[in-house]
């Protein structure tokens, strides 16, 4: 096993998603994930506390990028414009590996109640990060929460459509998330 080979964290995520898809979350062990990734169990535990954590590996980074994008939006940007800046910043950090893993990850989550629960907690964490960033911009509390929830929905919807688009010349993720945000805003406006 390549003990200090770079990219162990990414390889662990790919191995876990593959195994969860092939044999199910419950039937996959940490030892199997480590073996598939070409690392030791101790390397696995240096990166993740348990196998559930593999599926939310990028949550802290994603939350940070969303919040930074919101914070760096122009001072005169409205709440949804600031959320759009956060979505753009986070989306631009996603690459081909994220796109390739998207459908398999969605299938693994859909097949496990435990992973669905963890995914719901991830959603709450992303919304909380965006809400905090909006509140720091003096956006009123209720508006900040609503804009954040729309942002989370837009990210999830955009990511699902982007990862399902099998065209080689598919647009970048930011195009999908920003389109989803516009569509959700229009739908919310039509609720009257």
Burial of 69 (0-12, 13-18, 19+ CB in 10 A): buried
Instruction: Give pLDDT tens digits for 36-92.
Output: 999 999 999 999 999 888 877 778 889 999 999 999 999 999 999 999 999 999 999
pLDDT in tens, 163-191: 988 887 889 999 999 999 999 999 999 98
Spatial separation of the C-alpha atoms in residues 110 and 115, rounded to whole Å: 8
Residues of the chain with CATH 1.10.10.60: 8-53
| Full-model pTM | 0.84
Phi and psi, residue 107, nearest 5°? -65, -40
Superfamily of domain 8-53: Homeodomain-like (1.10.10.60)
CATH 1.10.357.10 residue window(s) in the chain = 58-189
Cβ(123)–Cβ(145) below 8 Å:
no
pLDDT at 5: 55
Structure-token match 């993740």, residue found: 48
Confidence of residue 100 (pLDDT cuts 50, 70, 90): confident
State phi, psi for 98 to the nearest 5 degrees. -60, -45
Q: What value does the mean pLDDT of the chain take?
A: 90
Q: In the block, which residue shows the tokens 């195009």?
A: 175
Check: CB of residue 42 under 8 Å from CB of residue 63: no
| CA torsion angle 159 164 169 175 (round to 10) | -20
What fold does the segment set 58-189 form as a domain? Tetracycline Repressor; domain 2 (1.10.357)
């Amino acid at each position: 096993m390549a003990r200090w080979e770079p990219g162990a964290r990414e390889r662990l995520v790919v191995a876990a998603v593959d195994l969860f898809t092939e044999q199910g979350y419950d039937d996959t062990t940490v030892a199997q994930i480590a073996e598939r990734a070409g690392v030791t169990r101790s390397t696995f535990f240096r990166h993740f506390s348990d196998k559930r954590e593999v599926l939310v590996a990028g949550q802290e980074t994603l939350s940070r990028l969303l919040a930074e994008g919101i914070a760096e939006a122009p001072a005169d940007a409205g709440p949804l414009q600031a959320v759009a800046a956060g979505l753009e910043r986070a989306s631009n950090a996603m690459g081909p590996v994220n796109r390739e893993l998207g459908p398999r990850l969605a299938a693994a989550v859909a097949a496990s109640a435990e992973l669905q629960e963890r995914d719901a907690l991830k959603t709450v964490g992303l919304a909380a990060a965006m809400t905090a960033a909006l509140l720091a911009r003096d956006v009123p509390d209720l508006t900040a929460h609503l804009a954040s929830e729309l942002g989370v929905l837009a990210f999830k919807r955009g990511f699902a459509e982007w990862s399902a688009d099998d065209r080689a010349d598919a647009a970048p993720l930011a195009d999908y998330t920003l389109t989803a945000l516009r569509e959700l805003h229009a739908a919310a406006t039509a609720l009257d």
